[in-house]
Structure 1
Amino acid sequence: MKIECILHRPGGSLVQLEAPRVEYHFKPSDADPRHIAEVADSSHISTLLRITEGYRSAETEQKEEKPRAQVTLTASALHNPIYNIPGGTIVLADVVEMAQKDSGLSPEDWNDLDDQDRTEWIDQVLLELQATVPAAPTEIAGTPAAKSDEESEESAETPADDGQAGDDNAANGPDQIDTEDELETLRAEYKKVFKRNPAKSMTAANLKRAISEA
């Protein structure tokens, strides 16, 4: 499926998605000025199209936005009113609407859920939305991003730690490839904790965090 990146950057936008790990380059062509990439994996298509402020289908005409449901969906007091996600920002109300649709419940039944269940559904959507890892615009053009003077000074003034932070970064960094065995084990543990399967796009780091915070 052809998907368009609405946000235009010089050289296009590189976006990396997990499970399976694929890097997509949204860029214009001689025949089409839109920033488009071909996305074949169904879970990647779903993840990108959720981010309505950053992506949309390039194969269909854009229809007028449908009005929101008349019933006001109950949100969660534990979540922030707005979140930064790859491609832009998203307000909690939109996340709650996605979670309600994923749950398969009517707006009325959603509002009747207890806070714990609503929080879990909302957390699941946020994990999926934050699973994309866009490259910095300077990296797209092939030029390493230079640190600002302020960043360099902060880096110089920061004392070396005991190596724990480095280990954490190695475990969660974009270059870490999750093995199938590890993912299967974590998915099974997630299902045992939350009584449902995790999203296909969730990485080992995402799964570990969700399980540890349950």
Structure 2
Amino acid sequence: MKIALRIAIGWFALALAMDVRAALVSHNLNQSNELAGGPAYLRVSIDDQGLPGRINFNVSVLGPLIDIADHNFGIQKFGFNSAFSISSSKVTGLPSNWHYDRGGNMSGFGRFDAGVKADHGNERRSSLSFSITGISMDTIASYLQPSSGHAGNGNYFFAAHVAGFDSPYYDCVTSAYFAGSTPVSPNPVPLPGAAGLLLAGLAIAGVFGRRAKKPEARTDPL
């Protein structure tokens, strides 16, 4: 009984330590400076799970580009915006041979506050992950900001340069910029901390329930 109670209390403590704000939001990049607008070319997912104060990015190339992938295909640069100042020391978890980039203009999609970029063309990736750390009070919403300045193709939350594809519909187009702010519906919002609290509470209730239910006194026949 004591062991079961300790386990339940341990789960309760672990759940308290978890970030109950944990969430995940995703947006599609469905605009391009070279290809037709509309298809979801890339997807950006942002979550705040893991260590407190860490915001995680994942950028993935989707079917319309994967279907026309050629030699040395992938993301070469990714730009995003922030309500806070970003520096290289705040960007962690980048793949080898990738580095923080100041962002800047992304070919008709406006000026972006920050970005990450491959050191060389042969370091392109179909999926890219990194984290933002050490910024007090930032949330996922801090990075859902449109680009600034003149943008002939529109201002969006995110933009990426993808190269190494060969489209049968666009002669001599092997690279392009893509941008977008289109939310993926529905955007899942898991709350692992809250779920953990619920499970831990049920476990503790079960332990005390068993303790409260005492066996009836046994009477032997004479």
- Give the TM-score normalised by structure 2: 0.20
- Give the TM-score normalised by structure 1: 0.21
The structure showing larger relative contact order (alpha-carbon pairs under 8 Å, at least 6 residues apart) is 2
Identify the structure with the greater helix proportion: 1
Indicate the structure (1 or 2) with the bigger Cα radius of gyration: 2
